[in-house]
Structure 1
Amino acid sequence: MIFSPYVWGASLNGTAGLLGRSTDVNVPFREIFDNLDMTFMGNVDISNGTVGFFIDGQYVKTSQDENLRDNELALDIKTTTLAAGAYYRVYEQQLEGTTLFGNQRIFAIEPTVGVRWTRLEAGLEVGPYSGSRKVEWTDPFVGARVFYDINDRWNIFAEADIGGFGAGTKLSANGQIYLGYRTMVFDIPTTFRVGYRALYQDYKDNDTVENFKYDVTQHGPVVGFSVSF
């Protein structure tokens, strides 16, 4: 089992709408500490070397205030995302040497399949108009992940998937890539990671009076570590 807590400094870009009114969502990374509350996020991965399962979750809260045509606009968004899936190692090339943890160095490709649940709470105020909406949806997704041991300490991990297909969102896409460094911390195999992640979701709910829509990309750097048990 591998447990990986991390922090995702997710900027937001796109559009959000409520009560028939839309606004651009633009929370850049340089303003992250003013607009974004970052909380603990984590991933659990269990594998026998061929078949594996994973759970990944994060919570992001953003707030944005600006002036729009002489009216003050306030937008608050809380997003909770939980993904669960499985993967199967369809290709593995054994490389020369072993890792710091005593495992064979490898290059591996693993297709993935799973579901991603999202709960979104949004509040919008534009001048005298205000409204709030809480929605949730579940998207199936398919994708693949790639793992490469550069040497005994360094490795690269990349993953991408696409989903939605009208089941929850019209379309969703997720991608991430990390550079990892293996070391021992208190005699526990530990890999420190740094990378970048992006999650795009296009959700619309036109069946209610709130007429809610959320067409936003979360993206930004990720730092964390993985502990092997």
Structure 2
Amino acid sequence: MRYLPQRLSCGPMVAAGLVFGGASSTLAADLGPPPAPVVEAPALPSWTYRFTPYGWLLALNGTETIRGRSVKVDASFADIVKASDTLVALMGDFEARNGPVSLFTNAVWANIGVDGNRIRSRSLAPGVTGALATSLSLDIDMAIIEAGAAYEVYRSGPLAFDLLAGARYWHQSADLSLAVTGAVSTADLDVVGSRALAHSGSVDWVDPMIGGRIRYTVSPGHELLLRGDIGGFGLGSDFSWQAIGAYGFELGTYQGVTFSGVVGYRALYVDYSQGEGRQRYQYDMLQHGPVLGISARF
């Protein structure tokens, strides 16, 4: 009896698996390893901008010296409004921020008038002869521009602290009106009727300044700001200081611009002097009062 060798038969499914398995292995080898997952880089901080026009309800306390004649000034906001061409000092504040860095500038313009009820004669500078006559009025045309940079050095939750440095430019022109009496030397004054006018001319100086600022987010859309700085150091004025407290609250957003109301208080003191005798000019004054404004952030 003859035995025929048995043949191993592969079914169509096994054969297909071998064929396609080989093909898939070849295809996988051709494609190579799967691509690595894409890791997106974190977005870099961008610049944001804030512009805030203010009104500053000024009061003055200090001493003004023009042409060697000094007067003591003690005038409230209401007193100044009665004798001034403007109701408030006009201010504008602009800040550009990118992460912890910010650049800022602030400008103030005011035309201030004070009548004789709020100023009184004080003294004469050395070299000025005669007695000081009764003071009738004082008018000051003033501009202040400051610019600088701030850097956030500390942050914890809603609280942030910035260090700042910059410079503050002052421009003033002042006129003092005095009653003419027989004891007053008018050699360097303009006499108009019964008045003698002392003109300061244009006076300008620049103060370096350093300071700090606290920003605290009370709640979304509500921020408290406290700022203080000192300056002068004998390079411009003998000394100056400033303190600002403000509270901002969002009013709404229109076309990508967020508007906020701002209320606060600003006090700025400076002691500046130049010249001697009849050329003596001194502005030793504290300017202070409430501020009201609306900011636009974009």
What TM-score, normalized to structure 1?
Answer: 0.89
Name the structure where strand makes up a greater proportion of residues.
1
CA deviation after TM superposition for structure 1 residue 40, in Å: 3.2
Give the superposed CA RMSD.
1.7
**Cα pair distance change 1:35/1:158, threshold 3 Å:** farther
Higher relative contact order (CA 8 A, sep 6+): 1
Tell me which of 16, 30, 39 is aligned to 2:78. Answer: 30
Query: For residue 198 of structure 1, what is the amino acid of its counterpart?
Result: A
Tell me which of 46, 54, 65 is aligned to 1:6. Answer: 54
- Map 1:69-84; keep pairs closer than 5 Å: 71-84=134-147
- The residue aligned with 2:229 is 161
- The residue aligned with 2:106 is 56
Query: For residue 40 of structure 1, what is the amino acid of its counterpart?
Result: L
Between the aligned partners of 1:72 and 1:3, the Cα distance in structure 2 is: 40
CA deviation after TM superposition for structure 1 residue 179, in Å: 1.1
Between the aligned partners of 1:71 and 1:139, the Cα distance in structure 2 is: 33
Question: Is the CA contact 1:27–1:35 (under 8 Å) kept in the aligned structure 2?
Answer: no
- Map 1:80-119; keep pairs closer than 5 Å: 80-94=143-157, 106-119=158-171
Question: Is the CA contact 1:90–1:110 (under 8 Å) kept in the aligned structure 2?
Answer: yes
Tell me which of 173, 187, 208 is aligned to 1:140. Answer: 208
Query: For residue 65 of structure 1, what is the amino acid of its counterpart?
Result: D
Q: Percent identity?
A: 33
CA deviation after TM superposition for structure 1 residue 152, in Å: 1.2
Structure having the higher Rg? 2
| 1:120 aligns to 2:120 (yes or no) | no
Query: For residue 60 of structure 1, what is the amino acid of its counterpart?
Result: A
Query: For residue 289 of structure 2, what is the amino acid of its counterpart?
Result: G
**Cα pair distance change 1:164/1:223, threshold 3 Å:** same
CA deviation after TM superposition for structure 1 residue 26, in Å: 1.9
Deviations 1:123-142 (A, max 9, x none): 11211332111200000000
Between the aligned partners of 1:35 and 1:26, the Cα distance in structure 2 is: 14
Of 16-25 and 125-134, the range deviating more from structure 2: 125-134
What TM-score, normalized to structure 2?
Answer: 0.69
CA deviation after TM superposition for structure 1 residue 206, in Å: 2.4
Runs of 4+ in 1 over 6 A off after TM superposition: none
| 1:40 aligns to 2:103 (yes or no) | no
Between the aligned partners of 1:112 and 1:72, the Cα distance in structure 2 is: 41
Deviations 1:150-173 (A, max 9, x none): 111321011110000011100011
Tell me which of 190, 206, 224 is aligned to 2:259. Answer: 190
